[in-house]
Amino acid sequence: MRRTCVFFHAHPDDEALLTAGTMTRLAAEGHRVVLVVATSGERGLTADPPAEAPDGGSREGTGARAEQGVHDGTARMARLGEIRTAELHASARALGCERVVLLGYEDSGLDGSAPGGFARAPVPEAAAELAGVLRQEAADLLVVYDPAGGYGHPDHVQVHRVGREAATLAGTPVVLEATVDRDLLLRVLRPLAALRLLPRSLDVASFERAYASAAEITHRVRVRRFAAAKRTAMAAHASQATGGDSVRTLAALLRLPWPVFRRAFGTEWFVRRDLPPGTRLGHPLDAWPAPSARPVALSGSVPGPATEATPGSAATATPGPSAEAIPGSAAATPGPAAGSASGPVSGSASAADGSALTAEC
C-alpha cells in the first residue's frame, strides 16, 4: 500500500546527513516522499562576512563603512541561501523525492540569536503552515527530530516542536523522530578522543545529552544498500563541504573510504513515542496503527507570508510556503495516489482551490 511520507528538516543538508537512506528506501519501495525544509540555511558555514570591508578597512566602526559591511553580509547570506536551495534540489533528486517545500523562515544560526530566525518563530504559526502541507498531501507519516534537536541546534529543536504540533493539527497518524543511537555514538567517540584523533573543538561530553538513548529507539532501519544515494546527496551540498576554514564534518565524511562509509551509514534510527519501551522495528512503516477517521483538507489554505512563484512554475496569489520544482524530474499530482491508505486524491489541495504555490520535483 502506497504511503505519503513527509520529512521535515531545518536546513539544506540535514536531510542528507540524517534520513537520506530511509527516504531513498521508501521512494524505491514506491512510496511518495515529500521533503519540507524550514530555512534555506543562509547562515551556514560560508555565510560569515569577510574580515575586511571591500576597501580593505576593518569592519568595525560606524557610519558608511559599517553600513557597507552590514549590506555585504546580508547580500552574502542571501546568495548562500540561493546556492543551498539549489543544492537541496540536487540532493532531493538523488533521494527520489517527489516534492520539495521551503517554508521560507530565516536560518537562526548555531546560537539561535538571529532576529527573525526559525527558532524564534511562534510555534502555533509555523505549525499551522506545516499542517497545511500535511493536509495537502494527506500525509501518512511525518518525520521530525528528537526533543534534543539531535545535537541541540535551536532550529532543530524547533523542528521537533513545530512538527509535533503540526501533526496534531493535521491528524497525521504516525510521527517518527529521526535521531542517532547516543550509546553507540559515545562508544565510538570516547576511544577516538582518548587517542586525540578528534578535532579539539569536538566536545565528546556534549553528546551525553544529545540524540536518543538506545533504550528509546524503536526503529533501526537498514539502509546500507542505499548508501550510494546518501553519499550523492551529501556531495550535492558542496558549499558546506569546501572552504579553508575549520574542519568540516561533511567534508570529513565524504573522504571516508567507501567500505567504511557504507558501514558507518548502514543504519538510521528513529523513535516513535506511541510505542512501548523496548520496541525494536526494522522499517519506518512497521506497526502501522489501525485506520481511523482523520481530517483531510479540502480547502488547502496555508497561512503564511506571501511568496512569489518559482520561475517557470504556476503562480498563485494565495499566501503560504513555497514548493519548488527540481529541474529535470518528472511531475506528479500532489497528494497520494488514488487508492492509497491515506485517502483519495480529491482530498488534497491544488493551486486552483486556494492552496499555496506547489510544484513537483
Convert the pLDDT of each residue in 38-80 to its tens digit.
999 999 876 444 333 334 443 344 455 444 444 567 888 999 9
For position 358, what pLDDT does the model report? 41
Residues 293 and 203 in one domain: no
pLDDT digits (tens, 9 = 90+) for 162-187: 999 999 999 999 999 999 999 999 99
Residue 48 lies in a domain: yes
Q: pTM of the predicted model, to two decimals?
A: 0.77
CA–CA gap between residue 148 and residue 124 (Å, rounded): 19
Both 24 and 135 in one domain: the answer is yes
- The mean pLDDT of the chain is 80
Percentage with pLDDT > 70 across the chain: 72
Same domain, 18 and 130: yes
Domain-located, residue 59: yes
Question: Which of the 8 DSSP states describes residue 181?
Answer: B
Which band of pLDDT confidence, cut at 50, 70 and 90, is reported for residue 332? very low
With respect to residue 289, please indicate whether it lies within any of the assigned structural domains.
yes
Within a domain: 294: yes
- Within this chain, do residues 201 and 257 fall inside the same structural domain, yes or no? no
Query: DSSP string of 326-338?
Result: -TTS----SSPPT
Given 193, 213, 233, the domain boundary residue is 213
Q: Are residues 125 and 200 in the same domain?
A: no
Indicate whether 192 and 276 sit together in one domain: no
Instruction: Report which secondary-structure segment, H or E, holds 175.
Output: strand 174-179
Are 245 and 296 members of one domain?
A: yes
Q: What is the CATH number of the domain that holds 84?
A: 3.40.50.10320
Buried b (16+ CB within 10 A) or exposed e, 54-69: eeeeebeeeeeeeeeb
Same domain for 205 and 101?
A: no
Asked whether residue 143 is domain-assigned, the answer is yes
pLDDT tier for residue 324 given thresholds of 50, 70 and 90: low
Residues 209 and 288 in one domain: no
Do residues 203 and 58 share a domain?
A: no
At 3-21, the pLDDT tens digits run 999 999 999 999 999 999 9
Buried b (16+ CB within 10 A) or exposed e, 17-47: bbbbbbbbbbbeeebbbbbbbbbbbbbbbbb
- Residue 358 resides in a domain: no
Residue span of the structural domain in which 195 resides: 183-213
pLDDT of residue 200: 78
Can you tell me the mean pLDDT for 274-284? 95
Please report whether residue 360 resides in a domain: no
Confidence of residue 338 (pLDDT cuts 50, 70, 90): very low
Same domain for 138 and 195? Answer: no
**Rounded average pLDDT over 143-150:** 97
Question: Residues 201, 234: one domain?
Answer: no
pLDDT of residue 110: 84
**Cα–Cα separations (whole angstroms), residue 333 to 32, 98, 135, 170, 358:** 11, 9, 14, 20, 10
Pairing state of beta strands 174-179 and 141-145? parallel
- For residue 172, the SS3 value is coil
Residue with cell 533528486: 93
Nearest C-alpha neighbor of 114 from the set 48, 159, 201: 48
Number of domains in the chain: 2
340 pLDDT more than 80? no
Q: Do 25 and 223 touch, CB atoms closer than 8 A?
A: yes
Q: How far apart are CA 208 and CA 267, in angstroms?
A: 20
Distances in Å between the Cα of 64 and the Cα atoms of 10, 60, 72, 211, 246 are 35, 11, 12, 45, 31
Pairing outcome for strands 32-39 and 99-105: parallel
CA 344 vs. chain centroid, Å, equals 27
Confidence class of residue 291 from pLDDT cuts 50, 70 and 90?
confident
Indicate if the pLDDT at residue 131 is higher than 90.
yes
Q: Which pLDDT score is estimated for 342?
A: 34
Phi, psi of 53 (to 5 degrees): -75, 165
